[in-house]
Structures are given as structure tokens and as C-alpha cells.
Chains A and B, each alone.
Chain A
């Protein structure tokens, strides 16, 4: 049961990691990275690390995503196609 859950969770995490790297809209890719952090915090909870899960959910998925969004707002949202 737990193995199946971990396999599904891991596949979803890898899909979101690849999405975060290859989406052209930077806001969408930052949100994908945030979702990756949130799933990682679920994984920490399964592995009996509630302290780390809490930190990852509050800091990695919440604050870091917001810092990225503030940086994108000050620069440019769409990636140049000729890059």
C-alpha cells in the first residue's frame, strides 16, 4: 500500500520537476516548483519527519514561491523564445 503511494507520489513529483524546467511562462514554472515542494512535504510526513514536513510546507512551498513571484514581477514573465 505505502509502496504504491510512494511510486505515484514520486512520478507526480518528477512530472512537476520537468514541468518547472520546461514551461515557457515563468509564473507557471514557479508554481510547478512550489507544488513539487508541497508533495515533498507529504513525503517527509510519510517518512516520520513532521518537523521537516512543516518547515518545507511553510518555507519551501510558501515563502520561497512568493519570493520567486516578487522577483518575476520586477523582471520579465515570459521567457524569450530565441534563448
Chain B
């Protein structure tokens, strides 16, 4: 069963679709966050192992046999990093959007053509 992987790829596709078709800049950033959630779900599902517990060695996991009882901790650490960086980058993008709005009073991406070649 790889339902979770299918869900991740569908969210990634929906996010890309939103980024490509939407005109409103805030909607484009929302599309980016949806794609981010999709990628994170894919990464977590790669580290998942059936019938094992979280990588926390409390009383439920005997220390000697820990290697055979826990799921893969490395993708989890990477996704944790990705979430925090994602928020910082999204905040920076939104600040740029606010500055652009103050110049032209428009959120539509079609009104900003100075950099287009």
C-alpha cells in the first residue's frame, strides 16, 4: 500500500498547478506551500517502516533491540529542517509582495512586466 506516496505526489501536482495558473501573487505563494507539504509527505513516507514505532527510545523500545524497533530517523530530521526553512523563505517572499503592492497597488502578477524579456 503506497496510498500516502500517491497523496504526496497529488499534493505536489496541485501545488505546481496553482503556481502555474494563478495570477494573484499570494495565491502563488499558497500553491508553493501546498507543494511543500506534498514533498514533506513523500519524504516521511520513504522513511516509514511498517509496524515500528517512533525513534524515541523510551520504555516501549528495549535499548538492545532498538535497531529493529524504530522507523528511519534521518528523513524526519531533514523534513524538520525543511519546514523551518520553508516558513522563513515564505515570510521573505510575502515581504517582497507587500513592497511590490506599495509601489503599484496591485497583486496581479501580470502588472509587473519590467523584468520580463
Contact = CB atoms under 8 A, between A and B. Distances in A.
Interface size class of A (residues with CB under 8 A): 35 or more
Contacts of B91: 64, 67
A48 B54 contact: yes
B71 A48 contact: yes
Contacts of A80: 24, 107-108
10 contacts: A6-B7, A14-B7, A17-B11, A21-B31, A36-B37, A40-B37, A40-B41, A49-B47, A52-B79, A75-B97
Interface of A: 3, 6-7, 10, 13-14, 17-18, 20-21, 26, 29-30, 33, 36-37, 40, 43-44, 47-52, 55-56, 59-60, 63-64, 67-68, 71-72, 74-76, 79-80, 83
B27 A21 contact: yes
Interface of B: 1, 3-4, 6-7, 10-11, 14-15, 17-18, 22-24, 26-27, 29-31, 33-34, 37, 40-41, 44-45, 47-48, 52-56, 71, 76, 79-80, 83-84, 86-87, 90-91, 94-95, 97-98, 101, 107-108, 110
Given A59-B84, A60-B87, A40 B40 contact: yes
Interface SS majority for chain B: helix
B3 A10 contact: yes
Contacts of A63: 87
